[in-house]
Amino acid sequence: MDFTIEKEQLLAALSTLSKINPSRTTLPILSTVLIKTQDEKVLLLRTTDLEIEMEIKLQAKILEEGEVCAPIYKMLEITNTVTEKTLSINVNETQRMRINTSTGKYLLMCNKTEEFPEERKVTEEPNIISTGFLKKTIQNTTYACSKDELKPTLSGVFLNISSTSITAVSTDGHRLVKYIYPEENTKNQTILVPHKFLNILGGGPINTKKATLKTYKEYAIIETENIKISTRLISEKFPDYENVIPDTTTNETTTTTQQLLSAAKKVSLMSNKTTKQIVLNLQTNKITATTEDHETGGAATDEIESTHKGEEIKIGFNSALLIEILKHQTTDEIKILTTSPLNAAIFKQVGEEKTETTTLLMPIRI
């Protein structure tokens, strides 16, 4: 195999593909990228972790056809280091890759392609969905997914696709986000999409406005003319989130999002490193945020203005989870709906248009 290619487009492709490769694996072939010539002008790069698969087509000058599996991280480092605008790359019969520059050369030992997983092929008819909802859905939900590999059910975003809207739900057991995006669809469907797949899309390798999202019974595929990403869907049953969200609450507190975020950040500096607990005292015209660390003797208090309806209430939260939730609120003001110090609090955005976001956070016992 022999070809020349622009350094910047190869670097961009390898950087994107490397997000798929597992950092640790018992299958060394999964740490490689399959490089294959398609015709005189197209080079195809494909990588997978067996759950997610990505394929990128690049423009190149093909001098000799062929295919090889190259170590992706080492190839990425080399491509990032060299200063030439154009790279000349060839692979000989012993699977040794030579990357030539004007001042030297780099030699990489590669693998044959026989062990590399075959390209994923799905024969059933897909459900084609408009991708207009994707960008905001990713921004509003993936942060609340569980990062625990032992909880696969909670490591994805549940999508309930109806004729008039798409409802996206994510939870890690301590917090929950329900995001409703109005969109017309031809077919009803419920799927559980891995957060890794959505985070990769959120990183921007695909222009979702020009892409096509196809969903199947076990897979989801999104593609443009030059990039295709597919994922295996999570087969576990998602929790009944509707029963988790309280139907009614007795207290309503309205405040400025950024002021509460700032107060939570400042007070959390003195919170216990293990519990990270801060307490919000929701009063008639103010919120008092406090924390106390009995191990170190540290404490902090901060006040912000608010409007409160109902009884005065003190409720404790994990400050890290509270701060992350507040960072993802997009309106200037929010409402905090509470019932008691032991019941979940609900955060609603004031003045949210078109979409509807409901965020739930479980309290910590004071």
The pLDDT tens digits of the residues spanning 260-288 come to 999 999 999 999 999 999 999 999 999 99
Question: Both tokens of residue 120?
Answer: 């994923």
In order, the DSSP letters of 279-295 are: EEEE-SSEEEEEEEETT
Q: Is residue 94 part of a domain?
A: yes
Q: Is residue 33 part of a domain?
A: yes
Q: What percent of the chain has pLDDT over 90?
A: 87
Which residue range forms the structural domain that includes residue 255? 251-361
**Band of pLDDT at residue 209, cut at 50, 70 and 90:** confident
Question: Across residues 338-355, what is the average pLDDT?
Answer: 96
Task: Report whether pLDDT(146) > 90.
Answer: yes
Q: How many distinct structural domains can be found in the chain?
A: 3
CA–CA separation, 116 and 178 (whole Å) = 39
Q: Is residue 283 part of a domain?
A: yes
Domain identity same for 219 and 134: yes
Q: From 322, 161, 176, select the one nearest 246 (Cα to Cα).
A: 176
Residue 86, domain CATH: 3.10.150.10
Q: Is residue 13 part of a domain?
A: yes
Domain identity same for 160 and 136: yes
In order, the DSSP letters of 230-293 are: EEEPP-SPPP-GGGTS-S--SEEEEEEHHHHHHHHHHHHTTS-TTT-EEEEEE-SSEEEEEEEE
Q: Is residue 245 part of a domain?
A: no
**Residue 366 CB neighbours (<10 A):** 10
Task: Report whether pLDDT(23) > 90.
Answer: no
For the chain, the C-alpha Rg in angstroms (whole number) is: 25
Question: Across residues 89-111, what is the average pLDDT?
Answer: 92
Domain identity same for 153 and 236: yes
Domain identity same for 147 and 235: yes
- The whole-chain average pLDDT of the chain stands at 94
Domain identity same for 35 and 135: no
Q: Is residue 120 part of a domain?
A: no
* Window from 9-23, 74-88, 96-110, 201-215 with minimum mean pLDDT: 201-215
Q: Is residue 174 part of a domain?
A: no
Which residue, chain included where needed, has tokens 């798929």? 20
Write out pLDDT tens, residues 248-257: 999 999 999 9
Domain identity same for 93 and 146: no
**Band of pLDDT at residue 39, cut at 50, 70 and 90:** confident
**Band of pLDDT at residue 212, cut at 50, 70 and 90:** confident
Which residue, chain included where needed, has tokens 């994805």? 156
Domain identity same for 235 and 278: no
Question: Across residues 24-31, what is the average pLDDT?
Answer: 89
Domain identity same for 36 and 140: no
Write out pLDDT tens, residues 283-327: 999 999 999 998 999 999 999 999 999 999 999 999 999 999 999
Task: Report whether pLDDT(208) > 80.
Answer: no
Question: Across residues 67-84, what is the average pLDDT?
Answer: 95
β-bridge pairing 67-71 and 32-37: antiparallel
Domain identity same for 32 and 96: yes
Percent helix, strand, coil in the chain, to 5, is 20, 40, 35
Question: Across residues 168-194, what is the average pLDDT?
Answer: 95
**In this predicted structure, what is the pLDDT of residue 204?**
81
CA–CA separation, 120 and 99 (whole Å) = 30
Domain identity same for 16 and 92: yes
